[in-house]
Amino acid sequence: MEADAMPRTIGRRSAVLIGIDRYNSLFVEDLLGCSEDVRLVEDYLITLANISNITKLTAPAAPGPHGSSEDPPPTLKNVVSVLEKLAMDAQENDFIYIHYSGHGARLPTLFPSLKNGNLEDEVLVLVHESGQKVDSLRDVELAFLLNSITEKGAIVTIVLDCCHSAGAIRAGARSRGLNQIPPDALVARDPLHPESALQRSWKMQRRGSLRAASVMNHWMTASMGVEFLAACLSNQTAQEIQPENKTPRGLLTECLLDVLGGTSQHLDRGLTCEMVYNLVSRKVTAHKDSKRKQDVVFGGQRSRAFFGVGRISQAAVTITNITPQSNGEVYVELSAGYAHAVEKGDEFAFYPQDQTFTDITDYHSQLDVCKVTSVGDFVSQALVDVHGAADDTQGGSSLRFQVGCKAVQLQDILRRHVLSPRTVRVVVNDEGISSEEIQSIKNRIRTEGKAVELSDSSLPSSFFEVRVKRDNDFEISFIHNAETGIKETTRARSVDNLLLRLAHLAIYYNILSLPGSATARGLLVEKTGVLPAHFAPPPPQRCILDGSSPPPAVFGIEEIIPSEPQDITDGAALRVRVRNICYKPMNIEILDLEPSWKVSRIYPGDDQMPIVVHPNEAVDFFITMGIPAAVPDSVQSETFDSIIVLATTNEKTNFPIDILPHIHEISEGGSSPLDDNNSERPAKGVSSAQWYAERLNVRAVPRHSV
């Protein structure tokens, strides 16, 4: 699959590899495969990734081919020294790869004022010069060191083949995590820097998360310029495996190198972090030596080149081959596979080669639909819906699509609900308008209208009513809230603009009505507090419903009495808690429907991975509200935002970041382009997924009003 790399020239490339097998402590179990991880990664970086400036810090079980006494030991002093030197020398567009294989653990925090109620630090467990105790590099300290590199414009990719703790280990299984480290086994030391210095980098991890955040199932936050791949979720363990006739090594490292070695030809064409994550996750899950569930975690910009500094805009998925069968079936090959999160059973819609997608209404006119029957890493095979695939032409049959046509993976929500047509009737408002003019308008709605269908003007039950006035003036009216019965109106100043506004409004109210069309119930969504405007909202916060891991306290949060709509002051953030009470993981998207008929996806943020809430989990989201923009020439019954919390049983997003613009923008030729990464690959998902939606109404009011 071809990709167009963003124009950004890579600078110097270097790597830091840390592997710890021997901790030399009675309280910390030694490992077997970490030094081997370092050897394998080094071989790959030199031979295939063209990275030769490599620093190794290892503590092998014994001197030998898998660990060398010539490598400096991975003490805190050495690790910090290496990272500080990288920061000192870093220049814009440098690329740095960091790989850690060893133990991870949780310790009582040294930074309670920075942790906002969280009483633990997540740490990388390191050896100590004394040879008797162990040391640690804490999450806040690592964030400071990485930020010192990235603030100079360098890009860091970090792989952590470790886990948070070993509480889930079965007897006899070896895992890279510690339940606890006794105080006597841990070196007592002060933080690397004063808290005032650490505070800036730690808060920087959070500031960019407002309305553009991703929930991470891992302690490693994704600051700008840092992409990370981690071995497992917080309640899982990172396994060591021993393939037949091979030295032990980490499961994540084994699968990562298997993917990178098998896809090296794609590095120059554009192997993104998301592609690597998709392929590695699948290999880890299916690995024959895996003894328990281990879910890989990714954080950062999914469109970033895995071994580079630029973002990669993926080319459109296209039909690359068409194979008619003797039984009349038609198969196609598509230029997307496991690397692009395609799964067997996914459905794709076909569009012309020159089709552009400026907003969600452009998904409406499909040529045909196919269902994926088999998947490879970068291509897939699909069976076309033959009942609609051919037109009878003079006794023969011809396909409506051809090689090169675009193939868009449409989620069932989009295809069956958001794009379903709303009815419209046309009536005459002023005298002197000819029947020919009215018929011409109807014909254009019938043939060019998107997400609308013309109904008999004598029937009053249509959703939209278009009143035709003189001088190309049109009034669009509708009643979307049957309880209030209040009519809303907006104006269009040309037939072209009329068609745009009808499609826009139809999509808007289809999204607004999603909660009434849900196919499953498995979530509880509630408003649980407000954070005043002078407090910086944290990123989404995860907790376990059984109380074993409560949500961290949020300084400044104010309790509220839920109401509809919920009035909060301009600039304040509403805390919304989403609880998964079903037996399946649920992918969460949060949409903001503004009174200006603008729709945006606020979670997950641009270029962030899908947000998955697992069974028996809850996530707190913080949504900052502002005074809505007015719409000229319009009458609206509601002046509040509607927040739609959408959950599906697939790990894919259903909507782009920019779904619909402010309706006034389309009257001036404006459009709402999709985010860069999805501009040609919009709206992904599988048609069979269950889904659930709930609506919350929130009204932002001037600060003096509350």
Q: Which residue do the tokens 């003096």 mark?
A: 704
CA-to-CA distance for 216 and 585, rounded, in angstroms?
Answer: 15
Write out the two tokens for 250. Answer: 């980490």
SS3 of 263, please? coil
Q: Which residue did the predictor score with more confidence, 616 or 654?
A: 616
The residue type at 134: V
Distance CA 498, CA 480 (A): 19
SS3 101: strand
Dist CA 188 CA 121 (whole Å): 15
Question: Quick one: CA dihedral 28, 29, 30, 32, positive or negative?
Answer: negative
pLDDT for residue 175: 56
Phi, psi of 432 (to 5 degrees): 90, 0
How far is 613 from 627, CA to CA, in rounded Å? 30
Instruction: Give the burial class of 587: count Cβ atoms within 10 A of its Cβ; 0-12 exposed, 13-18 middle, 19 or more buried.
Output: buried
How far is 396 from 389, CA to CA, in rounded Å?
13
* 129-159 residue pLDDT tens: 887 889 999 988 998 999 999 999 999 999 9
Q: Are residues 227 and 157 in contact, defined by beta-carbon separation less than 8 angstroms?
A: yes
User: CA 190, 191, 196 angle in degrees (round to 5)?
Assistant: 125
Query: Which part of the chain has CATH 3.40.50.800?
Result: 418-512
Q: 76: pLDDT confidence band, cut at 50, 70 and 90?
A: very high
Indicate the pairing of strand 586-593 with strand 641-648. Answer: antiparallel
Question: How do beta strands 658-660 and 541-544 pair?
Answer: unpaired
Separation between Cα atoms, residue 178 and residue 163, nearest integer Å: 8
pLDDT of residue 299: 80
- 63 contact partners, CB below 8 Å, separation of at least 6: 69
Per-residue pLDDT reduced to its tens digit, 339-353: 998 989 888 989 999
Asked whether 134 and 28 are in contact (CB, 8 A), the reply is: yes
**Closest-CA residue to 457 (of 439, 475, 444):** 439
| The residue to which tokens 């046309």 are assigned | 426
User: Which element (helix H / strand E) includes 523?
Assistant: strand 523-531
Domain 316-409 has CATH 2.40.30.230: yes
Closest by alpha carbon to 411, among 661, 694, 696, 647? Answer: 647
- Residue 174 pLDDT class (50, 70, 90 cuts): low
- Asked if the model's pLDDT at residue 2 lies above 60, the reply is no
What length is written for the chain? 706
Q: Where in the chain is the domain with CATH 2.40.30.230?
A: 316-409
656's tokens: 């782009």
The residue that leads in pLDDT, 98 or 185, is: 98
Report helix, strand or coil for 597.
coil
More confident residue, 684 or 564: 564
Residue 179 has what pLDDT?
Answer: 61
In the block, residue with structure tokens 């038609």 = 330
Cite the residue boundaries of each domain of the chain with CATH code 3.40.50.1460: 3-312
Angle at 525 between CA 204 and CA 675, to 5 degrees: 50
* Least confident window among 322-326, 420-424, 459-463, 674-678: 674-678
Counts for the chain of helices (H) and strands (E), in that order:
11, 38
Beta pairing partners, 67: 64
Longest dimension (CA), the chain: 97
Q: What is the 3-state secondary structure (H, E, C) of 122-173?
A: EEEEEECCCCCCEEEEEHHHHHHHHHHHHCCCCEEEEEEECCCCCCCCCCCC
Element housing 285 (H / E)? helix 273-286
CA distance 323 to 344: 18
Instruction: Assess contact for 93 and 167: CB atoms under 8 A.
Output: no
d(CA 418, CA 591): 13
Give all strands (DSSP E) within 410-472, no chain letters. 422-428, 452-454, 464-469
pLDDT tens digits along 531-576: 998 888 877 888 887 776 777 778 889 988 888 888 888 889 999 9
Q: Is the pLDDT of residue 669 over 50?
A: no
Using 50, 70 and 90 to split pLDDT, how confident is the model at 214? very low
Distance CA 367, CA 383 (A): 14
Closest CA to 222 of 282, 273, 166: 273
Bridge partners of 106? Answer: 122
Residue 447: CB atoms within 10 Å: 8
Under DSSP, the state recorded for 483 is: T
d(CA 88, CA 148): 8
Nearest CA to 284 among 252, 262, 311? 252
Burial class (CB in 10 A: 0-12, 13-18, 19+), 131: exposed
What pLDDT is recorded for position 413?
65
The answer to whether residues 45 and 198 touch, using CB atoms and an 8 Å cutoff, is: no
Per-residue confidence (pLDDT) for residue 17, from 0 to 100: 97
Q: In terms of CATH architecture, what is 3-312?
A: 3-Layer(aba) Sandwich (3.40)
Q: Which helix (H) or strand (E) holds 586?
A: strand 586-593
Q: Which of 238, 233, 240, 319 is nearest to 544 (CA)?
A: 233
Report the predicted TM-score, pTM, of the whole model to 2 decimal places: 0.74
pLDDT tens digits, one per residue of 435-474: 888 899 999 998 888 888 898 766 667 899 999 988 888 9
pLDDT at 385 over 70: yes
Phi, psi of 260 (to 5 degrees): -65, -40
Per-residue pLDDT at 96: 95
Question: Crossing angle, helix 273-286 and helix 251-262, to 10 degrees?
Answer: 120
| Nearest CA-CA partner of 75 in 33, 133, 146 | 133
pLDDT > 50? residue 393 = no
Q: What is the DSSP letter of 183?
A: G
Percent of the chain with pLDDT over 90: 29
Topology of the domain covering 418-512: Rossmann fold (3.40.50)
661 or 118: which leads in pLDDT: 661
Whether the pLDDT of residue 43 is over 90: the answer is yes
**Rounded mean pLDDT of the chain?**
80
Answer yes or no: are the C-beta atoms of 122 and 219 closer than 8 Å. Answer: yes
Eight-state DSSP code of residue 452: E
CA 292, distance to chain mean position in Å, is 26
- Read off the tokens for 602: 């606020």
251-256 mean pLDDT: 92
Region 691-703 average pLDDT: 83
Q: Is the pLDDT of residue 595 over 80?
A: yes
